[in-house]
Chain A
Amino acid sequence: MPVVVLLHAVLPQRWQNPFLLLASLVFYAWGDARRLPLFLALLAADWGIGLLLDRAEGRRQKRFLLFLGCLISFGALLFYKYSAFLLGIFGLAPAFVRGLTLPLGISFFTFQAAGYLIDVYRGETKPEKSLVAFGAFIFLFPQLIAGPIVRYGPMREALHRRRRPDAAALDGGMALFAVGLAAKVLLANPLGAMYEALRAYPGDMACAWLSLVGYSLQIYFDFMGYSVMAVGLGRMLGFSFPRNFRHPYAAVSVTDFWRRWHITLSGWFRDYVYIPLGGNRRGKTRTVLHLAVVWLLTGLWHGADWTFVLWGLWYFVLLAAEKLLFGKRKAPAPLTRAGTLILVMLGWALFASDGLAAFRAYLADLFSFRAGPQALFWLRENAALLLVSLMCCVPGIVEGLKRFCRERGWARLTATAALLILSIAALAKSTYNPFLYFRF
């Protein structure tokens, strides 16, 4: 990582994009080399269609090209991610389909590429002429695996100039990277372990809710951590990626939550699905229908299973209800915050469950109205972790700390180095594996 950043900073402009593309391909091949040809083919197809779209004359030709591009991109996604699920609905599940494994990063790849084609189709941006620059944009290693979903337009300028990250970008980027890494390994991972431990007490309502608190925090710090690492790395490379999370658990409504959670994904669905369908300008019935489509797709984007479909529908119902019923009325913020949190957490119970049967069991635990004292042990055990995690969800505290560190060089230096060292320690501990020959 540091080698890539350093080399990238000193390379002359014409080598920067090829170098980034190469680094990204190596990074990708590390995880899944066999899928590289597939991705390169998709990349070339999307690039070519982008160029043709620009030259095409007439609406029909353009439409056809866009359709073709989307067919290729979403076709691959559909095949790898959803064929087993969709065929399963009709009771068919041929062995070769069940054997398919999801290519790493294909969801983000598809959305970024499709967004690009739509932008070119609409004439909102010029197509990328250079395959290398296009490859560097799509494959850019910090964000390929876990987002944020970056749009081509704002990136275009940075892709075509000599990127010389200044001191502020390097320092800020490194600090963000350390914060993201720490969120993942110091908070999300132990929170995940707490969730697992607490799910071993079936029927205990206190344990079930504590586990759900753990899971909700885990999924936030996990995802946010990856995004922040990507944004930090991007800054060190001279790019400016959009922010993906903005204190989601401080949301005052479910609508507000989705303005703060995975912002680039909600933005994608808003710009490429919801608004083209007609948004909220075609009357109440159509608005509700549009919401249903968007949230069905959002659910499916997260995974190919009925739990994700239900999860999407859950948000459809909540958002539609908010739009139609509570348009203008305002309850006191603490109340709506608490309400939103509980609704969002119930959604995560779906997300956490592997299949509908598991979800039913989880739900039964959450509302069993029986509890032993065991939850207290786990609460005490994780008190410090939960306290720190909850504090990191409060906007005032986080923004205050950020300001404090920005204004004092020594504070930022110490905090970043400490987070980095502790994260390495956590990674070392995670592979710590005493061999217990004398276990018995």
Chain B
Amino acid sequence: MKRAPVFCLCVALLLALAAAQLILPDREVSPLENRVLSQAPKVSADAVLSGDWGEALERYTADQLPLRDSFVSLYTLMEGAAGRRLSGGVLLGADDRLFDRSDGWSERNVRQNAAALTELGEQAQKKVWLLCVPSAVAVYPEALPALAPVADEEALLRAAGEETALIGLLPLLQSRKEGEALYYRTDHHWTAAGADFGYEAICGALGISPREAGTADVVPGFYGSFYARYPLPWLSADELTYQFPAGLRLLADGTERALVDETALAGRDKYAALLSGNHARLELLNPDGPEGELLVIKDSYANALLPLLARHYRRIVAVDARYFAGDIVEEAKAFDGEDIVCVYGMSTLATGRTIALLEGL
């Protein structure tokens, strides 16, 4: 065997990987993938005979592969070097900006969700507004790869506007994109600057005068959800920006929480720090607010925006339709105010019937 170098090297490589897997402690979670990894499956006669054990063992071996993240990076690097602009459902555009592949987004979903909002307003006898946050695709189309498979978001917005009272935002974002970055490059969310324009648009609709933007806090080292889906090693990190006024209290599902979660802020996916992540129902309390109460139906895009709005209201109740199990009509009737604002990313409105499926509608 001394004269079989190819065999010896490859066998050594495979055995070294196997040995490393046996010796090294198993990881519980993968920060890159943001999920819990498979652990060693338990042996039982049933599981072995049915093949379940074999499958579980394969999942476990794959999840706990030594240098797993490096192998993933290596393959991603090869994809990038081969000129791939689409991986993991994410498009790589000019200036290393990542976008959602959105050609599967459906106008039907947008219409049903928007119509459900109108229905809610009628049932609760309140005024309903929809602020639909377009994706970066609609704001920076020039950075997209040619012929990229993306949705026509202007058409989707028009459809939403036919079903409910839509707050115009896209033209504002398009006209102001030359200055500060409005969206992150590695994440689908918007920056403090982007959220500030959303805030202005809402103020315009509700007839309140917007306050001056203060200085935003900046946290470097932010690798967002797009990066997790197409982790090209040469992409640089974003800086998380947020502008949260002092003096606010946050109640998330009834418990007092920090407005900015320090643990999440220290991790990779830093946007999750804002309003301590996603909760079914939260309240923002501001004793100095000049206006009364506001009901917000929202997804995570609102997490960067709500504190700005909270400067005006004594109490904002925000419901995340994806997790909220209560009766939304009751909630809408109960709060002490006239306006309901819905803040949603186009991705949520167009990929599911989140609002239309709410209890009570």
When the two chains form their complex, are residues A434 and B5 in contact, meaning their CB atoms are under 8 A apart? no
Return A396 CB to nearest CB of chain B, in Å.
Answer: 23
Contacts across chains A and B counted by CB atoms under 8 Å: 145
Q: Which of A167, A170, A433 contacts B33 (CB 8 A)?
A: A433
Interface-facing stretch out of B47-55, B108-116, B289-297, B330-338: B47-55
Rounded to whole angstroms, the CA-CA distance of A172 and B339 in the bound complex is: 75
Query: Given that A173-B7, A431-B59 are known contacts, is A377 also in contact with B145, CB under 8 Å in the complex?
Result: yes
Rounded to whole angstroms, the CA-CA distance of A177 and B225 in the bound complex is: 37
When the two chains form their complex, are residues B5 and A381 in contact, meaning their CB atoms are under 8 A apart? no
Q: Which of B51, B65, B74 contacts A33 (CB 8 A)?
A: B51
When the two chains form their complex, are residues B62 and A170 in contact, meaning their CB atoms are under 8 A apart? no
Is residue B345 within 8 Å, beta carbon to beta carbon, of the partner chain? Answer: yes
Return B274 CB to nearest CB of chain A, in Å.
Answer: 10
Rounded to whole angstroms, the CA-CA distance of A34 and B50 in the bound complex is: 7
Which of A31, A167, A435, A439 is the most central at the interface, judged by chain B CB atoms within 10 Å of its CB? A439
Rounded to whole angstroms, the CA-CA distance of A377 and B228 in the bound complex is: 23
When the two chains form their complex, are residues B147 and A431 in contact, meaning their CB atoms are under 8 A apart? no
When the two chains form their complex, are residues B147 and A427 in contact, meaning their CB atoms are under 8 A apart? no
Is residue B348 within 8 Å, beta carbon to beta carbon, of the partner chain? Answer: yes
Interface-facing stretch out of A137-145, A248-256, A408-416: A408-416
Instruction: Name the B residues within 8 Å of A417 (CB-CB).
Output: 6, 9-10, 13
When the two chains form their complex, are residues A383 and B75 in contact, meaning their CB atoms are under 8 A apart? no
Interface-facing stretch out of A1-9, A155-163, A209-217: A1-9
When the two chains form their complex, are residues A440 and B348 in contact, meaning their CB atoms are under 8 A apart? yes
Q: Give the size of the chain B interface in residues (CB under 8 angstroms).
A: 60
Instruction: Name the B residues within 8 Å of A174 (CB-CB).
Output: 6-7, 10-11
Which residues 147-186 of A have a CB within 8 angstroms of B?
167-168, 170-171, 173-175, 178
Chain A residue, CB-CB nearest to B271: A438
Q: Which of A34, A377, A413 contacts B9 (CB 8 A)?
A: A413
> Residue-by-residue, is A393-412 near B (CB-CB < 8 Å gives 1, otherwise 0)?
00000000000000001001
> Residue-by-residue, is B81-100 near A (CB-CB < 8 Å gives 1, otherwise 0)?
01111101000000000000
Interface majority SS (helix, strand, loop, mixed), chain A: helix
Is residue A310 within 8 Å, beta carbon to beta carbon, of the partner chain? Answer: no
Instruction: Name the B residues within 8 Å of A89 (CB-CB).
Output: none
Q: Which of B10, B48, B271 contacts A420 (CB 8 A)?
A: B10
Instruction: Name the A residues within 8 Å of B54 (CB-CB).
Output: 30-31
Is residue A384 within 8 Å, beta carbon to beta carbon, of the partner chain? Answer: yes
Is residue B34 within 8 Å, beta carbon to beta carbon, of the partner chain? Answer: yes
Is residue B272 within 8 Å, beta carbon to beta carbon, of the partner chain? Answer: yes
Return A123 CB to nearest CB of chain B, in Å.
Answer: 39
When the two chains form their complex, are residues B147 and A373 in contact, meaning their CB atoms are under 8 A apart? yes
Return A389 CB to nearest CB of chain B, in Å.
Answer: 12
Which residues 21-43 of A have a CB within 8 angstroms of B?
30-34
Return A373 CB to nearest CB of chain B, in Å.
Answer: 6
Rounded to whole angstroms, the CA-CA distance of A431 and B76 in the bound complex is: 13
Rounded to whole angstroms, the CA-CA distance of A174 and B4 in the bound complex is: 10
When the two chains form their complex, are residues A374 and B300 in contact, meaning their CB atoms are under 8 A apart? no
Rounded to whole angstroms, the CA-CA distance of A374 and B101 in the bound complex is: 14
When the two chains form their complex, are residues B10 and A434 in contact, meaning their CB atoms are under 8 A apart? no
Rounded to whole angstroms, the CA-CA distance of A416 and B74 in the bound complex is: 17
When the two chains form their complex, are residues A439 and B225 in contact, meaning their CB atoms are under 8 A apart? yes
- How large, as a class, is the contact surface on chain A? 35 or more
Query: Given that A385-B82, A428-B68 are known contacts, is A171 also in contact with B48, CB under 8 Å in the complex?
Result: no
Q: Which of A2, A32, A422 contacts B51 (CB 8 A)?
A: A32
> Residue-by-residue, is A175-199 near B (CB-CB < 8 Å gives 1, otherwise 0)?
1001000000000000000000000
Which residues 212-249 of B have a CB within 8 angstroms of A?
225, 228-229
Instruction: Name the A residues within 8 Å of B348 (CB-CB).
Output: 440
Rounded to whole angstroms, the CA-CA distance of A225 and B244 in the bound complex is: 57
Instruction: Name the B residues within 8 Å of A6 (CB-CB).
Output: 11
Chain B residue, CB-CB nearest to A375: B147
Q: Which of B1, B63, B74, B188 contacts A167 (CB 8 A)?
A: B1
When the two chains form their complex, are residues A435 and B51 in contact, meaning their CB atoms are under 8 A apart? no
Is residue B42 within 8 Å, beta carbon to beta carbon, of the partner chain? Answer: no
Is residue B148 within 8 Å, beta carbon to beta carbon, of the partner chain? Answer: yes
Q: Which of A34, A409, A438 contacts B49 (CB 8 A)?
A: A34
Is residue A361 within 8 Å, beta carbon to beta carbon, of the partner chain? Answer: no
When the two chains form their complex, are residues B13 and A440 in contact, meaning their CB atoms are under 8 A apart? no
Rounded to whole angstroms, the CA-CA distance of A46 and B269 in the bound complex is: 61
Query: Given that A428-B65, A434-B228 are known contacts, is A178 also in contact with B49, CB under 8 Å in the complex?
Result: no
When the two chains form their complex, are residues A416 and B10 in contact, meaning their CB atoms are under 8 A apart? yes
Is residue B155 within 8 Å, beta carbon to beta carbon, of the partner chain? Answer: no
Instruction: Name the B residues within 8 Å of A412 (CB-CB).
Output: 6
Instruction: Name the B residues within 8 Å of A425 (CB-CB).
Output: 71-72, 74-75, 78
Rounded to whole angstroms, the CA-CA distance of A436 and B300 in the bound complex is: 12
Is residue B347 within 8 Å, beta carbon to beta carbon, of the partner chain? Answer: yes
Rounded to whole angstroms, the CA-CA distance of A236 and B1 in the bound complex is: 12
Is residue A429 within 8 Å, beta carbon to beta carbon, of the partner chain? Answer: yes
Chain B residue, CB-CB nearest to A373: B147
Query: Given that A384-B83, A428-B65 are known contacts, is A421 also in contact with B13, CB under 8 Å in the complex?
Result: yes
Q: Which of B4, B49, B278, B345 contacts A171 (CB 8 A)?
A: B4
When the two chains form their complex, are residues B83 and A380 in contact, meaning their CB atoms are under 8 A apart? yes
Is residue A369 within 8 Å, beta carbon to beta carbon, of the partner chain? Answer: no
When the two chains form their complex, are residues A33 and B50 in contact, meaning their CB atoms are under 8 A apart? yes
Return A90 CB to nearest CB of chain B, in Å.
Answer: 33
Q: What are 8 A-B pairs at a CB distance below 8 A?
A: A33-B50, A167-B2, A377-B146, A420-B13, A422-B74, A438-B272, A438-B278, A440-B300
> Which residues of B come within 8 Å of A, CB atoms?
1-7, 9-11, 13-15, 17, 32-35, 48-51, 54, 59, 62-63, 65, 68, 71-72, 74-76, 78, 82-86, 88, 145-149, 188, 225, 228-229, 269, 271-272, 278, 299-300, 322, 345, 347-348, 351
With A421-B13, A428-B71 already in contact, 6 other A-B pairs whose C-beta atoms are closer than 8 Å:
A5-B11, A377-B148, A424-B17, A427-B62, A432-B33, A437-B34
The 6 A-B residue pairs whose C-beta atoms are closest, nearest first, are A435-B35, A428-B71, A384-B82, A170-B7, A377-B147, A434-B228
